[in-house]
Amino acid sequence: NAGVTQTPKFRVLKTGQSMTLLCAQDMNHEYMYWYRQDPGMGLRLIHYSVGEGTTAKGEVPDGYNVSRLKKQNFLLGLESAAPSQTSVYFCASSYQGLAGSEQYFGPGTRLTVT
Amino acid sequence: DQQVKQNSPSLSVQEGRISILNCDYTNSMFDYFLWYKKYPAEGPTFLISISSIKDKNEDGRFTVFLNKSAKHLSLHIVPSQPGDSAVYFCAASVSQGAQKLVFGQGTRLTINP
């Protein structure tokens, strides 16, 4: 049981390049999330999904797209990277519970855009 | 508008003493609160949570207190151990629907031997 995994762990992009971050979970969770963490700002929600084939915008969605074609995978895309997207990206998943439930996080992807 | 705030960026505590981390929120719709612990180069890991129907939840050395009228929660760690040195994030959510978490800025806790 690997939990939540993220690929790649590190990446350096040049401004204008594109890339896709992959998140996979093996816990059969319905909900999946993408966050970014910047110094002094905690984690901010980019996009999320409440089930296969569904996606929705979070707090900071501009410049990102996502897809959830399979229940276990959640992809985050950057079509044209900008230096402002330099950050650490975390994927998370959670079980759909009635009384709230904790999210399980992956190890993160450190992205630098030059 | 920061809906969840941790006003102390850092805290230093002596080993064996109590660590108290604080968190304030502004959105009265939040009804589920969580604390996460994060080591460098790792993802956050869940520590403890509390529902708004309670005012205290305890798990071993960790206790979370919720004061709904003040929109304030705190995490108590007693006794503090060197392995507790990490960044602690407070998070809040509405328990129905997508359960999106809103995080505070984090507090870096350092336990001194």
Distance from CA of A104 to the nearest CA of B (A): 7
Higher-scoring residue by pLDDT: A31, B99:
A31
* Residue A97 pLDDT > 70: no
* Residue B31 pLDDT > 80: yes
pLDDT at A99: 58
Interface test with A, best of B33, B103, B108 (most A CBs within 10 A): B103
Distance from CA of A58 to the nearest CA of B (A): 8
pLDDT in tens, A3-62: 999 999 999 999 999 999 999 999 999 999 999 999 888 999 999 999 999 999 999 999
* Residue B110 pLDDT > 90: yes
How many percent of chain A have pLDDT more than 90?
88
A4 at the B interface (CB within 8 A)?
A: yes
Specify whether the CB–CB gap between B68 and B61 falls below 8 A.
no
pLDDT at A16: 97
pLDDT at A95: 86
* Residue B97 pLDDT > 90: no
A vs B: CB pairs below 8 A: 68
Specify whether the CB–CB gap between A27 and A74 falls below 8 A.
no
CA distance B29 to B33: 11
Instruction: Kindly determine whether residue A42 and residue B105, on different chains, have CB atoms separated by under 8 Å.
Output: yes
The mean pLDDT value for B18-26 works out to: 98
Could you tell me which chain A residue has the CA closest to the CA of B43?
A107
Kindly give the pairing relationship between strand B10-14 and strand B107-112: parallel
The mean pLDDT value for A107-111 works out to: 97
pLDDT at A96: 74
pLDDT at B13: 98
Higher-scoring residue by pLDDT: B1, A8:
A8
Higher-scoring residue by pLDDT: B107, A96:
B107
The mean pLDDT value for B88-112 works out to: 92
Considering only CA atoms, which of B25, B12, B51, B11 is closest in space to residue B103?
Answer: B25
> What burial class does residue A46 get, using C-beta atoms within 10 Å of its C-beta: 0-12 exposed, 13-18 middle, 19+ buried?
buried
Could you tell me which chain A residue has the CA closest to the CA of B48?
A102
The mean pLDDT value for B87-96 works out to: 92
Distance from CA of A51 to the nearest CA of B (A): 10
Measured between beta carbons, which residues in chain B are less than 8 angstroms from residue A104? 46
pLDDT at B96: 78
Could you tell me which chain A residue has the CA closest to the CA of B7?
A40
Could you tell me which chain A residue has the CA closest to the CA of B4?
A42
Distance from CA of B3 to the nearest CA of A (A): 12
Q: Which amino acid appears at position B45 of this protein?
A: T
The three-point CA angle A64-A68-A70 to 5° equals 155
pLDDT in tens, A60-92: 999 999 999 999 999 999 999 999 999 999 999
The mean pLDDT value for B55-68 works out to: 98
A108 at the B interface (CB within 8 A)?
A: yes
